[in-house]
Chain A
Amino acid sequence: MTDTEILQLYRSGEREKAFRGLVSTYKERLYWHIRRMVLDHDDTDDCLQNTFVKVWQSLDRFRGDALLYTWLYRIATNESLTFLSRQQTRGGNLDLEAAARLATDPWFDGDQLQRSLHKAIAKLPPKQKAVFNLRYFEEMPYEKIADVLETSEGALKASYHHAYEKIKTWMKEEIDEKF
């Protein structure tokens, strides 16, 4: 279902049908986006549900001046950032926790390279992590990332470049330690 179809259905009064269409269209993309941010499946499930609950509650206020998917990504990203921020507030070490989680996660099938990459990504500040994930894995244009994160394209490009360099360095260090 396209964004236009979903919105037309919603405006014609078929609120639940439109919402179900929206969930069906976006649940998988948003799941993977959140999963790369928070890593754990159960945490991802919580964040994804929270995201759609917020969408349900505020669909009336969706002005339509942004793309529906940009708006959904923004809510999902904010939900992930809130989750990570809460984790940090509880005194958790995101870096170590991520390493432990990836080592024991039954829903992670990555090889050594992928494990090393996701551990390095976990070390990034949360917002920079969002920039890196959206650009690197989802290949989202900077213009759209700017809409999602409500930041300038220039700042995003710089942020992505720094993240890329840091990840390369951390991965190199890890490889050097092992061999």
Chain B
Amino acid sequence: MNEQKDILSSPEARENPFRMPEGYLDSFEDRLMARIAAEEKPAASRTVRFWTILKPALTLAAMFALIFGMGYGVLSLTRTMGNKPGTDASASYATAEEEMIRPASLINYYQTGPTEEPELDEDAILDYLASELSFSELAEIYAQAY
């Protein structure tokens, strides 16, 4: 047992019996960096290829989004203009109608208000007719009247 233990305990057993090709470690870094560069390149080009494939689809999606957004925007704007907050469409139409009617009502109020009809004076009418119409016209009116 002691003999075997001595074998494992001997400095000879711990010595490194392996060798490596000459210059192996000197060139190792350059080979390693070349491998890393080669592995990173396809990764980068894969990203570019992925983008190339994805680009038309994304453009199309963006266009749809833009069209949808514009449509939605116009619709929202129309609704906002037509609707006051807290009212429905019919109420807003009624309001608009009321607003349109109100000035007319005001005009009517002043036009049809309680004004006194002026009393017609018969002599004034005759004077008016005598001054404005010729004799023949007066004769014609008279013939029609009687």
Report the separation of the CA atoms of residues A111 and B16 in the bound assembly, to the nearest whole angstrom.
Answer: 11
Q: Given the known A-B contacts A23-B32, A27-B28, A49-B35, are A117 and B19 also in contact in the complex, defined by CB atoms under 8 Å?
A: no
Smallest Cβ distance from A55 to chain B, in angstroms?
Answer: 10
Q: How many A-B residue pairs have CB under 8 A?
A: 75
Smallest Cβ distance from A72 to chain B, in angstroms?
Answer: 14
Give residues of chain A (31-58) contacting chain B, Cβ–Cβ below 8 Å.
31-32, 35-36, 41, 45, 48-49, 52-53, 56
B8 close to A (CB within 8 Å): yes
Smallest Cβ distance from A17 to chain B, in angstroms?
Answer: 12
Q: Given the known A-B contacts A53-B39, A114-B13, are A24 and B18 also in contact in the complex, defined by CB atoms under 8 Å?
A: no
CB of B21 within 8 A of CB of A41, answer yes
CB of B4 within 8 A of CB of A168, answer yes
CB of A113 within 8 A of CB of B12, answer yes
Give residues of chain B (12-36) contacting chain A, Cβ–Cβ below 8 Å.
12-21, 24-25, 28-29, 31-33, 35-36
A179 close to B (CB within 8 Å): no
Q: Which residues of A lie under 8 Å from residue B31 when comparing CB positions?
A: 49
Report the separation of the CA atoms of residues A136 and B16 in the bound assembly, to the nearest whole angstrom.
Answer: 12
CB of A113 within 8 A of CB of B25, answer no
Residue in B7, B8, B36 whose beta carbon sits within 8 Å of that of A53 in the complex:
B36
B102 close to A (CB within 8 Å): no
Q: Which residues of A lie under 8 Å from residue B8 when comparing CB positions?
A: 117, 136, 164, 167-168, 171
Give the bracket for the number of chain A residues in contact with chain B.
20 to 34
Interface size for B (C-beta < 8 A) is 26
Q: Which residues of A lie under 8 Å from residue B21 when comparing CB positions?
A: 41, 107
Q: Which residue of A lies closest to B12 (CB)?
A: A113
Binary flags per residue of A6-37, CB closer than 8 Å to B gives 1, else 0: 00000000001000100110011001100110
CB of A41 within 8 A of CB of B20, answer yes
Q: Given the known A-B contacts A168-B4, A171-B4, are A117 and B32 also in contact in the complex, defined by CB atoms under 8 Å?
A: no
Q: Which residue of B lies closest to A136 (CB)?
A: B14
Q: Which residues of B lie under 8 Å from residue A35 when comparing CB positions?
A: 18, 20
Smallest Cβ distance from A1 to chain B, in angstroms?
Answer: 13
CB of B35 within 8 A of CB of A53, answer yes
A157 close to B (CB within 8 Å): no
Q: Which residue of A lies closest to B10 (CB)?
A: A113
CB of B29 within 8 A of CB of A20, answer yes
Residue in B4, B17, B35 whose beta carbon sits within 8 Å of that of A172 in the complex:
B4
Smallest Cβ distance from B137 to chain A, in angstroms?
Answer: 112
Q: Give 7 closest A-B pairs by Cβ, nearest first.
A: A110-B17, A114-B17, A168-B4, A107-B19, A172-B4, A23-B29, A35-B18
23 A-B pairs whose Cβ atoms sit less than 8 Å apart in the complex: A20-B29, A23-B28, A24-B29, A28-B25, A31-B20, A31-B25, A35-B20, A41-B18, A49-B35, A52-B32, A53-B35, A107-B21, A109-B18, A109-B19, A113-B12, A113-B13, A114-B12, A117-B7, A117-B13, A136-B8, A136-B14, A137-B14, A171-B7
